[in-house]
Amino acid sequence: MKVLQICHKPPQPAIDGGCIAINNITKGFIKNGIEVKVIAICTTKHPFQIEKKEREFLEKTNIEAVFVDTELNIVDAFSSLVTSDSYNISRFFSPDFDRLLRKTLEESSFDIVHLESLFMSPYIGTVKRFSNAKIVLRSHNLEYMIWERLANSTTNKAKKVYLKILAKQLKQFEKNVINNVDGIAAITKEDGDKYLNLGCNKPIVTIPFGIEVKEFKVSPVKTSFDLFHIGSMDWKPNLEAIAWFGESVWPKIQEVYPDLKFHLAGRNMPNWLLKTNWKNIENHGEVVNAKEFILDHSIMVVPLLSAGGMRIKIVEGMALGKVVISTSIGAEGIDYENRKNILIADKKSDFISQLVWLFEDKSRIEEIGSNARKLVEEKYNNDRINEQLVLFYHSL
């Protein structure tokens, strides 16, 4: 089987959750004997750094990339409100990348064209013109839901109106796309169900995010405890979550646990977040090694209010045997049991009660961390997940 994987960012270096998810799919193709060709958009945020790519990856994928300026353009963004185009999607279309896609399809034939995320859907027309391959959308999120949730959570009236318009445009765009492909590989069952509700009549399979479990070594449980969060800070749901947690939740936690510390890390930390004077919060900025940062601290906090899809950092934290305290939205897509392998907290008071419950009997920290690791081993092992994706391709 030959697969063309079209990516909205280079899979390597795997510097954020999206890159990791794409890279794991690519490596899964290679491991399962699939002949894969990768073409990718590279941007200022995600440059094409050939020196940071694994040798086998380069040899097996023959990756090519085209630079596309996806930075926000205010004029284009507001003109899209008039034209009803989805600016979030249209900024990923490039005539140069379209030419590379056409050249690739003319030079080789493929059985499957795999679109990484909705952002690659503007190229469906070109794929259909120059190939008979089946087209599969790998859905990382339902994009409209992210913006819909951001709109619902903001108190700024003008911002709320704008975000609702964006969400409406994205929802219509997704409705138009879902029946224009031959299959959808949704990252969560919840997303798959929502596609059905949008009127999807094409085959859908749930292929969750997976990791190479053997690469995640559990360390002994720490005797001193702290909280931590790690995530890309140029992603709006992360910024919204940390602002809410730092301003509204953390002060309440400090009243109960005045000596507890919160460690914050992530790429592209904005100045306002670096300059906050929140008590007992240490901002590490971008860290060299995410795994080491996670292992150095105790309890992962994921206070997301408006995300969609599946949070890769939660799976990684669980694989490393960490207790995770997350909102229900943050934990979407993970087959968890509250107070067995994760702690769920949707309100300020929930975070307090979960911490009190945890610290009442500190053996629970080791127990939940161990159960979290077992869950990842059973359900989010990359080998098993990629086998399911290959079977889905054969069925198409």
pLDDT higher than 80, residue 147: no
Q: What is the mean pLDDT of residues 205-226?
A: 88
Structure confidence at residue 308 (pLDDT)? 66
| Phi, psi torsion values for 229, nearest 5 degrees | -140, 140
Q: Which two tokens stand for residue 191?
A: 């997303």
Domains 2-155+172-210+381-395 and 214-379 share a fold: yes
Q: What is the mean pLDDT of residues 286-312?
A: 89
Structure confidence at residue 165 (pLDDT)? 73
Q: Are 334 and 319 in contact (CB under 8 A)?
A: no
Q: What is the mean pLDDT of residues 279-287?
A: 93
String of DSSP letters for 99-116: HHHHHHHHH---SEEEEE
Distance from C-alpha of 193 to C-alpha of 206, rounded to nearest angstrom? 10
pTM for the full predicted model: 0.79
Class of domain 2-155+172-210+381-395: alpha beta
Domain boundaries, the chain: 2-155+172-210+381-395, 214-379
Residue with tokens 């353009």: 73
Q: Which two tokens stand for residue 25?
A: 């799919």
pLDDT higher than 90, residue 139: no
pLDDT higher than 70, residue 11: yes
Instruction: Pick one of 3.30.450.20, 3.40.50.2000, 3.30.450.90, 3.40.50.720 as the CATH number of 214-379.
Output: 3.40.50.2000
The pLDDT tens digits of the residues spanning 304-326 come to 998 666 888 999 999 999 999 99
Q: Answer whether the bond into residue 13 is a cis peptide, omega within 30°.
A: yes
pLDDT higher than 80, residue 240: yes
Structure confidence at residue 222 (pLDDT)? 79
Q: What is the mean pLDDT of residues 103-124?
A: 94
Q: Beta-strand (E) ranges in the chain?
A: 2-7, 35-42, 64-67, 112-116, 134-139, 183-186, 204-206, 227-230, 262-265, 281-285, 299-302, 323-326, 343-344
pLDDT higher than 90, residue 247: yes
Residue 307: closest CA among 7, 8, 17: 17
pLDDT higher than 70, residue 370: yes
The pLDDT tens digits of the residues spanning 75-97 come to 344 444 343 444 457 788 899 99
Distance from C-alpha of 140 to C-alpha of 117, rounded to nearest angstrom? 6
* 299-302 and 183-186 strand pairing: unpaired
